[in-house]
Chains A and B, each alone.
Chain A
Amino acid sequence: MEKTKGKISAFQFYVMLFLSRTLTTVTYLSSYTENIRLSDMLVQPIFRIVIGTLIMLPVFRLYRKHRDKNILELLNEKSQTLAKVVSILFLIYFFYFTVVTLARLDLFAGTIVFPETDVEYMLIFAIILCCYGAYLGLEPLGRSSVISSVLVIPALIFIMLTLVDKVDFLNLTPIFYNGVMPVVRVAVDSVGQTVEYGIIALMLPRVTGKWRKGYFIWLFSQVSLMAIMFFFACTVMGNFASTQLFPFHTMASLAEFSMFTRLDAIFTSVWIMCAFIKAGLLIFLQTDILTTYFGRFKRVYYIVAIGILTIIANLFISQQVRWFNIADNSIIKIFITGLSVFIIPLFILITGRKGREKCEKHS
């Protein structure tokens, strides 16, 4: 129990979130952006910064007043039933993203890495490891993130540097060729894919240090990474990028340095490391919610239960690619992110103010 209640420094927390979001970036699917031209993806991050700032305003306002209680604890003070309902929503939210994250890993492994091999074993293997990560707790996950970031960030920089020679500006496209709105829509989709907003909304009270400054550094760095990766994808591969299931992996397969030609292997290892951190953190959060609000059993039982459910869900999705398309749905993601990150904190803020006003009137 001590482990779950532990605090984490802002640095470790945001490094962990950076790796977690990096996974979403590197596993970007070209189907998300079929309505916009390639170069629009270079300006799309600007919209993401704006949306990412606006969406977090209620959360920041809330935690400025109540630094030591998270959303669920604040709701619990108002109504235990409401707190339980919202905790179920967060459970679904994190479970859904755990499944989608691992389904992407499964799609990648099954399509690109081992196209002729059944990857179910690998998937089960990965889920067990993520459960173990969740069992270790928040601080070990944070420490692993810092160590992993020392490998992940230079690896990504190295891959991109080796591609400098292949940059061709003729592969760029006019910006806003089909107008601004399709680009904004893609930016909203992109925010919807960022489960890290939900993690921040729930975990900020556990973060020590400069959490607000850390947020903006995190937001700017993950958006910059995305812009840089898109720059290379656009200028190196041009329209070929949109024909590829995982364009950034294809981009890495084009990179070569001296006699080393399979730099996509480095990319794959980056992917696996980030997946471990992300899924581990999400399973940890689900366990944490379960033990706090529905806690009758030991933590480890919840981890095993979540692990088994994740395996079942992923094995089901793994059977047919259309299940993946249904599961990896933008509208679901935008809805659940908007509800958990923006609407609920806003609701707590408004009801809190009204409650105070009532109290003042009464007194």
Chain B
Amino acid sequence: MRKALIVLLVFLTAFYTFNSEEIYKKDIRNRLVIQGIGIDVEDDKKYSVTIQAIDTNAQSATSSDSASQPPLKTYKTKGDTIYTALKSVTETEGKIPLYSQNRIIILGKSITEENMADVIDFFVRDVENSSSVYIAAAEKTAGEILEAKNGQEYISARSIETGISSYEYDARIFELQLFDLINRYNSGTKDFAMPLLSLKEEKGEKSVEISGTALFNSTKYREKLSKDETIYLNILYDKLKNTALAYDIDDNKKVSLNVVDSKTTRTVKIKNGQPVFKIKVKMEADISEISGGVSSAMKSKDIEKIALMGEKYVEKETKNLIYSLYEKYNSDSTGLGRLIYICYKDFYKKNEKNLDSVLQNSIYEVEVDLKIRRIGHEFIMG
């Protein structure tokens, strides 16, 4: 029995391994290793898909080079659906697309300002797409971002991805991954936001910049938040991990803090038929800089004052953002409306259809607790 089994398994393995079709698919030179996908809609309502991929032919020719960035190539295709557009790359290049290495999906203005729902399905359905791939919106077209060259080299999708993933070190950057986009889109109770990319050109040098955050209402682009506003959006999302904060402490003095930790708790209570949201922010920060010359020593009351002013500053800016989100832009991208859904399902059921106006008329209380952890090299007195 054992011998027969071994012979059978060896035969099956050999047959499977040396199947010519499988060998063709597994050879990296026959694959188009996609690094970034940009989607736009043309005037004729067809999808224009821009693909940035590793040039595997050039890669194998220059494999001995020590260059850190692999040679890239871009392709532009058109189709009635995203899938047909992507599939037509094979016709032009003769290679099978490999999506698993895709770093980013960029959606052009023509997509984000219309109904984004049409493009989502492909990325959910196609199993090769990673669920954690980053999603970003382009200020103009997605194609121009992926086709941009700095000198002779393309600006790589990988570097854009690295920029977005640095949100952990700089809360002025917002991040959204595919799975969270779908989660928010499907929940019906949360809007979403995503990083906004723009192409800059200075003295003939091109660069891709994360210029802020694109705010959405349902599936349509609503407004751009500045990078500074993005910090408070990250606070409301409880995503802030590290950022720089600068604010006035006196007429001529500005303090810069390096926020090293932050935790936001969001609660809701219904009082007199009106939701009252309590947003508590606990922050820890180090003093990085105080303008106006070097002081000989800091006193405890100075540190207390800096912390107090910081608390007031963060509180004010967070409230401003909440006002902008709910009064001006009508976007519940922070998901506070979902708190009502979770905690007060009967109230939610009653007000499901006019949730936007409920959120506009809600009370938002923000409480910030800022602790100064370190003050740098300076000495403390008293």
**Contacts from A to B (Cβ < 8 Å):** 111-112, 115-117, 121-122, 124-125, 128-129, 132, 135, 168, 170-174, 177, 237-240, 242-244, 250, 253-254, 300
User: Beyond A117-B25, A135-B1, A240-B179, is A174–B345 a contact (Cβ under 8 Å)?
Assistant: yes
What is the CB-to-nearest-CB distance from A298 to chain B, in angstroms, rounded to a whole number?
10
B297 at the interface (CB under 8 A from A): no
Label chain B's interface by main secondary structure: helix
User: Beyond A239-B182, A239-B186, A254-B131, is A121–B342 a contact (Cβ under 8 Å)?
Assistant: no
Size of the B side of the interface (Cβ < 8 Å), in residues, is: 36
Chain A residue contacts of B180, Cβ below 8 A: 238, 240
7 A-B pairs besides A173-B342, A237-B183 with CB distance below 8 A are A115-B127, A117-B25, A125-B12, A170-B339, A238-B183, A239-B183, A253-B132
The answer on a CB contact under 8 Å between B1 and A117 is no
- For the complex, give the distance between the alpha carbons of A244 and B8 in Å: 36
Closest 3 pairs (CB-CB, A-B): A239-B186, A238-B183, A174-B345
Q: Mark B210-246, 1 if CB is under 8 A from A, else 0.
A: 0000000000000000000000000000100000000
Chain B residue contacts of A171, Cβ below 8 A: 183, 187
Q: Count A-B contacts at CB 8 Å.
A: 77
Label chain A's interface by main secondary structure: helix
What is the CB-to-nearest-CB distance from A231 to chain B, in angstroms, rounded to a whole number?
15
Chain A residue contacts of B186, Cβ below 8 A: 238-240, 242-243
What is the CB-to-nearest-CB distance from B274 to chain A, in angstroms, rounded to a whole number?
20
Chain A residue contacts of B12, Cβ below 8 A: 121, 124-125, 128
Chain A residue contacts of B343, Cβ below 8 A: 174
B288 at the interface (CB under 8 A from A): no
| Chain B residue, CB-CB nearest to A39 | B342
What is the CB-to-nearest-CB distance from B131 to chain A, in angstroms, rounded to a whole number?
6
- Looking at A111, A116, A129, the one whose CB has the most chain B CB atoms below 10 A away is A116
Chain B residue contacts of A112, Cβ below 8 A: 127
The answer on a CB contact under 8 Å between B25 and A240 is no
B380 at the interface (CB under 8 A from A): no
B16 at the interface (CB under 8 A from A): yes
Could you say which of A116, A121, A172 contacts B15, with CB atoms under 8 Å apart? A121
Chain A residue contacts of B76, Cβ below 8 A: none
Q: Mark B173-212, 1 if CB is under 8 A from A, else 0.
A: 0000001101111110010000000000000000000000
Chain A residue contacts of B185, Cβ below 8 A: 239
- For the complex, give the distance between the alpha carbons of A291 and B128 in Å: 46
Chain A residue contacts of B96, Cβ below 8 A: 116
Chain B residue contacts of A116, Cβ below 8 A: 25, 96
What are 21 A-to-B residue pairs whose CB atoms are below 8 Å?
A116-B25, A117-B22, A121-B15, A170-B339, A170-B342, A174-B345, A174-B348, A177-B345, A237-B183, A239-B184, A239-B185, A239-B186, A240-B131, A240-B179, A240-B183, A243-B182, A243-B186, A250-B179, A253-B132, A254-B179, A300-B1
What is the CB-to-nearest-CB distance from A26 to chain B, in angstroms, rounded to a whole number?
17
